[in-house]
């Protein structure tokens, strides 16, 4: 006797790993990079999906991608930035773990399975921390990145050996609330690091080698460094505004006290307008910081 009910159709099990590969004018080496990623994951016996996001390439990269079998393609009609490519790729991902990397041959993508294995109950994100800087504009990049990293370490009260590495693995469920915060440019990797650290999610850093890139660099030394600094301040203000504003306000209060003593001694107990102005600025900054902190905590509990 046949059943009157059809068997339910079930979706296949999601893959272990979703690899997001932004591509912008990488025609000559993107296929080689895809093969390297696949070989590593298959050797590790991990189920995976490879999401290639063509970010408006003009050199025929998307034609190469269309010839590669078994990849998920997302095609942008114009260049929107690596941050947008990573965000949309992550939103489309189905894997429990999402991996970000680049297609320019700079990162040791054969180590992707090792990063994925490091994710456990203690760590929500594993970052490949570069042992050296081999990119273009090295003379400018090294001191600029050091300064930005030191600023981020101070603002998050955490040691950060590599703030903007493009090779990282993280739990998709943990990252989802922060995807809307990702900017369109290179500082998206900085953003996902600061979002995790500012909300108590643990990050592990694994030392990796970093190689000279294939093709032409898209990094703009002054513009991108400026954007990195702004994004660090923006993210810490978003999650912990007192960490930014309170030192400024207290410094102004200290300057007010010193200036007040000076006025009393030099101007015969007459307080100058500049002293009042400095004190008022300090009070306003502290008040704004406290108010912003209340808003952040109220939003977090809603």
pLDDT at 2: 39
Tell me the pTM.
0.81
pLDDT at 160: 93
pLDDT at 269: 80
Question: Which position has the token pair 């990623």?
Answer: 37
Successive 10-residue mean pLDDT values, the chain, 302 residues: 43 89 94 96 96 95 95 94 94 97 94 96 95 62 76 86 94 95 86 91 95 68 70 80 90 93 86 92 92 77 55
pLDDT at 6: 43
pLDDT at 89: 96
pLDDT at 161: 93
pLDDT at 131: 87
The string of DSSP letters for the chain reads ---SSPPPP-PPPPPSEEEEEEESS-TTTHHHHHHHHHHHHHHTT--EEEEEEEES-SSSHHHHHHTSTT-EEEEESS---HHHHHHHHHHH--SSEEEE--SSS-S-GGGHHHHHHH-SSS-SEEEEEESS--SSSHHHHHHHHHHHHHHHHHHHTS--S-SS-S-EEEEHHHHGGGGGG--SSTTHHHHHHHHHHHTT--EEEEEE---PPSS-----HHHHHHHHHHHHHHHHHHH-HHHHHHHHHHHHHHHHHHHHHHHHHHTTS---HHHHHHHHHHHHHHHHHHHHHHHHHHHHH-
pLDDT at 154: 83
């Amino acid at each position: 006797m046949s059943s009157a009910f059809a068997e339910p159709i079930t979706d296949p099990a999601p893959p272990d790993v979703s690899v997001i590969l932004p591509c912008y004018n990488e025609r000559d080496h993107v296929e080689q990079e895809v093969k390297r990623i696949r070989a590593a994951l298959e050797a590790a016996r991990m189920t995976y999906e490879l999401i290639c996001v063509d970010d408006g390439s003009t050199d025929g990269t998307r034609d190469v991608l269309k010839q590669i079998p078994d990849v998920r393609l997302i095609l942008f009609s114009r260049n929107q930035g690596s941050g947008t490519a990573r965000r949309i790729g992550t939103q489309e991902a189905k894997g429990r773990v999402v991996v970000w990397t680049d297609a320019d041959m700079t990162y040791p993508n054969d180590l992707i399975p090792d990063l994925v294995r490091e994710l456990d109950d203690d760590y929500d994100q594993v970052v490949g921390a570069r042992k050296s800087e081999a990119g273009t504009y090295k003379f400018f990049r090294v001191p600029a990145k050091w300064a930005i990293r030191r600023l981020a370490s101070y603002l998050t009260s955490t040691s950060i050996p590599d703030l903007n590495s493009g090779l990282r693995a993280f739990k998709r469920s943990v990252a989802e609330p922060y995807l809307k915060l990702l900017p369109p440019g290179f500082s998206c990797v900085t953003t996902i690091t600061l979002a995790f650290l500012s909300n108590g999610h643990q990050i592990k850093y694994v030392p990796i080698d970093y190689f000279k890139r294939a093709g032409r660099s898209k990094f703009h030394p002054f513009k991108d460094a400026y954007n990195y600094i702004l994004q660090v301040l923006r993210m810490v203000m978003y999650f912990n505004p007192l960490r930014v504003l309170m030192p400024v306000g207290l410094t102004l209060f200290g300057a007010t006290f010193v200036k007040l003593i000076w006025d009393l001694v030099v101007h015969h107990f007459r307080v100058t307008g500049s002293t009042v102005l400095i004190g008022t600025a300090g009070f306003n900054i502290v008040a704004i910081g406290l108010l912003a902190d209340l808003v952040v905590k109220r939003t977090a509990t809603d």
